[in-house]
Structure 1
Amino acid sequence: MQTIEAKGGAGVEAVGVQAGIPVRFEAADGYCLAGFLWQTGETRPDRSVVLIACATSVRCRYYSRFASYLFDHGFDVLTFDYRGIDQSRPQRMRGLDADWVDWGEKDVEAALAFLALRFPGRPVDVVAHSIGGLAIGLAPSSHRLRRIVTVGAQYAYWRDYAPAKRRRMLWKWHVVMPLLTALFGYFPAKRLGWMEDTPQGVVRNWSRMGAHFEDTVCRSGKGGTGRDPQVLRQRLRQVTASILAISLTDDPHGTVPAVRRLLAYFDAAKRRHLHLAPSDIGHTEIGHFAFFHDRFRATLWPLALSFLRDGAVPDAFLHALIDHDSL
């Protein structure tokens, strides 16, 4: 696997925070991926590196302030865009048939390989948002991870959507999205102001998702891939890292059933599930995306930081612990 680092550049534009350095690296199939790296000059073998795995079609720049926060608190950090998204977007989206499995077993795997070469012997942790929580488990090297924090992590099975929002979400993600994708050859989400433009394979996974993700992606996946559901299930079950899964009461995607459905695959891992209400930290809403907003620097971000540092959940949040394995 060839690894390429971009030299110079302005990095992530974020006023008042440390900018990440632009980097590029190749997946095993030769696809070039791009992202940003926060790296200190320290070479302590115990200094952890954190990989941030994005939500579906959310560009990695969205997480730059959170990445800078982790960097300021003693971690080196890598963010990157999956194939088809922002910095890793090809010149032509039509015809790019990447799906969620590609994002995990090729793109996340390439990011982990990049970190292994750049930081040999260093512990690697992950912060995964939404589909990132599935993608990280699909990477063949995921068994080497130390700790994982997920936020709203699930794989979009429609019956797990919040009941009050389910009808609208079904129309948006399971009717409008696949119809427009069939017309354009990809989902032109930016024109609608929804998210980044999205490869057709991801749309196919999302819009047809059933109760068991591995059956859906193998049944409705790309022709001739030869994917085996058992292989995908086993891939997730090789993860032995300690996992802190965070869900929010006002997140219509990452509901308790949705998060539990994904966590069930990680049965070799040590799992803790916190279900937080915005009122727990004196706010009225957080939702599926706002955890990574700078306004939660003093309230939510220390929760992730504490778990990444020593695998501990601060006492102030223990009341929200609803599921856990014996540790």
Structure 2
Amino acid sequence: MENSPTITQTEAYSLSIMTDRNQALAATVYRPKTPVKKAVMIAPATGIKRQFYHNFATHLAEHGFGILTFDNEGIGESLSTDLAKCDASLISWGRHDMSAVLDALQDEFTDATYHLIGHSAGGQLIGLMPNSQSIASVFNVACSSGRIKNMDMPYKLKAIGFMEAFIPLTNLTLGYTPSDKIGMGEPLPRGVARQWREWCNGAGYIKTAFGKSIHTHFYDEIDMPALWLGFSDDEIANSKNMDDMIRVFTKMPVEKRFLDPKDFGVSSIGHMRYFSSRTNAKAPKLWQMAIDWLHNQ
């Protein structure tokens, strides 16, 4: 059931969040002028700046939700050193960045319940957060293992080329991966790109690292309700890879919706376009899914 489309005035302001790695993360708070009962952190995909989620965050804030977006360490305005010297990793993003952002969300909105909207890696890394039990619900978009083995041709060849040639070659010669040069977000710290490669080549994405580079995690403890959205034209988060990632969260009660963009009157959504204002203009029911989910938690 759709809730009333009441629009409230909002304000947006910048915030600096310090992690326990002593790294400052650039963040933006979207605050409704009405009292906030539910607050949401939007956890980004690999190498995606927080500005990408601005329209979506504004839309949610206009519907009464407190929102916090952020740049992971080494990305966007959270890059504080030469990128080749940045030692951030996917593990540090989940364990340190996302945990610090959740703490900041609680500080900003003290009388609320706390929720997470994860895009791709932003949903994958929840199980590394030591404070994840403070999250009341999860809404994941295009979140999957990204396992190359499960991808279809010809995209599979492109992924193999990126993972097996581009990442190791550029990490070796530049000290980082300039993924922006091939249209894949911002340049990545070498540790992020290296782990991305290792996990996408393994089984169960992050599960590949259990007992190796990851000795403490919370994937077997997370039990908040979750809605996972995937799209039939997403060459990365296909249905097999979504199931692959969902299995890592052994106690999470997941509702999976695998959708065809054409059913919503749009030609494509893929891995990135769910958060586009153009998509919402053509298919408002897609963003309404997030609003309805949050209202019902």
The change in CA–CA distance for 1:205 and 1:302 in structure 2 (over 3 A counts) is same
Q: What TM-score comes out, normalization by structure 1 length? A: 0.82
Give the whole-Å Cα distance in 1 for the aligned partners of 2:153 and 2:133. Answer: 35
| 2:267 match | 284
1:178, CA displacement in angstroms? 2.3
| 1:72 match | 62
The change in CA–CA distance for 1:254 and 1:212 in structure 2 (over 3 A counts) is closer
Out of 226, 244, 268, the position equivalent to 1:261 is: 244
1:155, CA displacement in angstroms? 3.4
1:1-327 equivalences under 5 Å are 20-43=12-35, 47-209=37-199, 210-214=202-206, 216-217=208-209, 221=213, 227-228=214-215, 231-232=216-217, 235-297=218-280, 298-311=284-297
Check the 8 A contact 1:175/1:207 in 2, yes or no. no
% same residue: 25
| 1:324 match | none
SS across alignment from 1:247: strand
SS across alignment from 1:300: helix
Structure 1 regions of 5+ residues with no counterpart? 1-16, 222-226, 312-327
Check the 8 A contact 2:38/2:115 in 1, yes or no. yes
Q: Which moved more, 1:77-86 or 1:150-159?
A: 150-159
Check the 8 A contact 1:86/1:196 in 2, yes or no. yes
Q: Which moved more, 1:109-118 or 1:244-253?
A: 109-118
Q: Which moved more, 1:195-204 or 1:163-172?
A: 163-172
Deviations along 1:270-304, one digit per CA (max 9) or x if unpaired, are: 21000001111012211100000002221310111
The change in CA–CA distance for 1:43 and 1:303 in structure 2 (over 3 A counts) is closer
The change in CA–CA distance for 1:239 and 1:121 in structure 2 (over 3 A counts) is farther
RMSD between superposed Cα atoms in Å: 1.9
Q: Which moved more, 1:280-289 or 1:51-60?
A: 280-289
SS across alignment from 1:74: coil
> Higher relative contact order at CA 8 Å, sep ≥6: structure 1 or structure 2?
2
1:18, CA displacement in angstroms? 5.8
Check the 8 A contact 2:66/2:109 in 1, yes or no. no
The number of residue pairs the alignment matches comes to 284
1:119, CA displacement in angstroms? 2.1
1:195, CA displacement in angstroms? 1.5
The change in CA–CA distance for 1:202 and 1:218 in structure 2 (over 3 A counts) is farther
